[in-house]
Structure 1
């Protein structure tokens, strides 16, 4: 900002620094200086600056995610430069034409943009032209965003609504306005929500903001299964959904079958984007639509049809082994006929052999776990603790009826083995000792879905004796906001040769 500050002092009557690409015309510099001096004199005589009279800046309104606009402090604070030179174009030495609009501007100000600095200082033909036609290579750039970006070169603050941040970011990226890009990133970081997360995610990838992209992806991992938003599911494309489904950090409520149910609704909304109705009707309408497809296609699995093939990469990442081990879930999978039998047959075989291994070899559980195997092979479970009071639960479909109870009490999470009243337990539950590999995550989200509390455990192997209870997480005196989501990844029966050595 040193060069910018020097330039502003010079425009007020100091010595003129050399401006690369400014055309080298002393008359232009003198004209710009004279315009600023004249405006400042008018302001002093009138007792107020023109900015106080207020040229109202256009802003969107009424969106649920809108917040107070943010300002970028850089230029002259009197407002005289902006109104006289930018809005009125006094002393202009170059005309910019784009998107059906004309701006009468000044090279000395435009050269704050890397885009224009290169244009005016190089061998480009525009370096000597008085009128420059700009072509917009990016469909995200509109007239209003270009106006805001060009105006930022003349004023000390820019008002940006969250709903306008993507067009302005696109424009700032084209014009190489680093400060404006940084401000857009700050606004995006503060306003990630169900209404903005997808557009921010796509834009952050296009315009070089990897930290924003990472934050948006984490928001989706935390909220995809907990936020019941049809609009959000419409906006999530196949590539993002595939990344989400493959991740072991996806916050699942309650078990893996719920991931399948969510994907079924998501696929229906992708195929029927005009669907509108109450949230409770979405699943039933999706089931009816897929059932009709099944009848019309003579039972051909939907993912093998021309419409369904595009979704294969996403559904291939379903952890079917943890779905078919629950009888009601297995029946739904069979009835829906979305998934080809060629996918399911080896899964059933693998689960049957795993059960035989546990029953006949009396395996205690995993001994050594590689993190890479753990991340891709675990069962993802979740539960919502609504308030600060004791509660306990089991996750339905927990493989082979292993007698694990999860308890929350006194800000502690414990695992407890208890075979009492276990209606679906098998002989494996009666082993004196069992081992389990797990990772636990406790998360609190605010109303916008942003994380206000997070506590993760490391991947670890836990040994549990019969009726033994062990603490796996302690919140102590930490500032916790309810409800809390308790998410866990389990690996309790090793796949042959994959996790033991």
Structure 2
């Protein structure tokens, strides 16, 4: 904070030195004459002002008491705070009081944070330890210190990790830092399914935040939608069994065993229809089930888990049957113009993890309608190629004519803290490939990309209505 005044040399009538509640400072007698000791136009350094006025309380004209601590301070400095400026200049009864008892309405505010924030009024710059940034932000918000709030935001921006991001997210939401909230949410989208310490993250995520993450088309899904379902099982298990401890590889098997036991105890009632499971319904409703049940093995796991109600699955199976018939009987299919608002809600999400530079290829099966898409990475280029040679997937239909699918692809590189150091996304596009045709989608030449990288893609296949002759 900017320096306002400089204290004169301590006169001979100053009170004795004492200490209060672990914060050592000198106590002043608080006589009316002490106000004259404050002068405009600072003559000393910020550190000397901090030591003489804040730490020792020289020339104090007001005493602040809160959280079991006492601070002997100066109204001229406190008025840098909007909270105290209103208190001392308005109709508040405290305007004429020499001792003020502050009530702390926010449980995030503690005595250490209050000490740091009050001290910030006497010095500049202010060091904000990351471990205390949330409590300092809460205190700065109460005292209406906009510059300190901004500094807290900068600290949060630079120190978001798997251990801090959830508390930062909720704090940014509570104290009006929309940019930090957006940054933390993007961090969660990037790391929810990619971070090695996923157990740490899953324990911290509330149902409301998880619901928003699962609904997003920007979630970095690795590998397919079924992996989102598996991740949600682990998350739900940790929410219900917070005392679980074990190796990372044991988390999903233990969650499956717990679900099997719940299934037996409930007589086969889907878990989300039980009293214990209803709290998780809004989260699981955002799963894109159409891209799970189209794979036979995944559909069997869904049935075996008895987690999702049949009432959710039946219309999805019916829609898939209709889509299959449309794909079989339509020659010219796919969107000509992409209706972007529909794309985030209904698109298929999938991804791949490239560990190092070098040639690589993998397969994405688009809705399993023999729309097998081979993705090639070579020479810093990502290329899509439609192949009909691999018949291990799909239903053997619509092989002879051109198909159209809307897509958007994103390439992301994350550092060790989970922060994105590189991100490149395509616009929404229409992929129109005949058999064995290819398309260069992304060119990373001359781009500062550090491996490993994540390649994530959204696809939307929409057949036209009506029937065309073959």
- The corresponding residue for 2:281 is 312
**SS in structure 2 opposite 1:394?**
strand
Residue 173 and residue 395 in structure 1: after superposition, are their counterparts in 2 closer, same or farther (change >3 A)?
Answer: same
Which of 457, 477, 501 is residue 426 of structure 2 equivalent to? 457
Asked if the contact 1:358–1:493 (Cα under 8 Å) also holds between the matched residues in 2, the reply is no
Counterpart secondary structure, 1:138: coil
TM-score normalized with structure 2 length: 0.91
The yes-or-no answer on 1:94 pairing with 2:62 is yes
Alignment of structure 1 residues 17-96 onto 2, 5 Å: 27-33=33-39, 76-77=45-46, 79-96=47-64
* Equivalent runs, 1:284-363 vs 2, <5 Å: 284-363=253-332
Matches within 5 A, 1:255-266: 255-266=224-235
CA distance in 2: counterparts of 1:495 and 1:196, whole angstroms: 47
CA offset at residue 388 of structure 1?
1.1
Going from structure 1 to structure 2, the CA distance change for 1:456 and 1:32 (only over 3 Å counts) comes to same
CA contact (8 A) 1:82 1:154 kept: yes
Report the Cα offset of residue 159 of structure 1: 2.2
Query: Structure 1 residues 282, 495: closer, same or farther in 2, change over 3 A?
Result: farther
Q: Distance in 2 between matches of 1:299 and 1:396?
A: 33
What does 1:193-212 align with in structure 2 at a 5 Å threshold? 193-212=161-180
Q: Distance in 1 between matches of 2:464 and 2:245?
A: 43
Mapped partners of 2:277, 2:365: distance in 1 = 29
What is the TM-score normalised by the length of structure 1?
Answer: 0.85
Deviations 1:417-474 (A, max 9, x none): 1222332243335123111110000000101010110001000112101111111111
Change (3 A) 1:179 1:440: same
- Partner SS, residue 430 of structure 1: coil
* 1:403–1:429 Cα contact (<8 Å) kept: no
Hey, what's the Cα distance between the residues in 1 that align with 2:179 and 2:283? 25
- C-alpha separation between the residues in 1 aligned to 2:87 and 2:182? 34
Alignment correspondent of 1:139: 107
Runs of at least 5 residues in structure 1 that lack an aligned partner in the other structure: 14-24, 41-75
For residue 188 of structure 1, what is the aligned residue in structure 2?
156
CA deviation string 1:272-315 (max 9, x = no partner):
11111110000000001111000000000000001100110110
Which structure has the highest helix share of the two? 1
1:123 aligns with 2:91: yes
CA distance in 1, matches of 2:163, 2:287: 27
User: Displacement, 1:476?
Assistant: 1.6
Shift of 1:81: 1.2
Q: 1:355 Cα deviation (Å)? A: 0.6
What is the number of equivalent residue pairs in this alignment? 443
Question: How far has the Cα of 1:341 moved from its partner?
Answer: 0.2
Matched with 1:157 is 125
Q: What is the CA RMSD across the aligned residues, in angstroms?
A: 2.0
CA distance in 2, matches of 1:80, 1:404: 69
Describe the shift of the 1:484–1:429 C-alpha distance in structure 2 as closer, same or farther (beyond 3 A): farther
Listed as ranges, the gaps of 5+ residues in structure 2 are: 10-30
Match of 1:174 among 132, 135, 142: 142
1:481 aligns with 2:450: yes
Determine which structure has the larger strand proportion and give its number.
Answer: 2
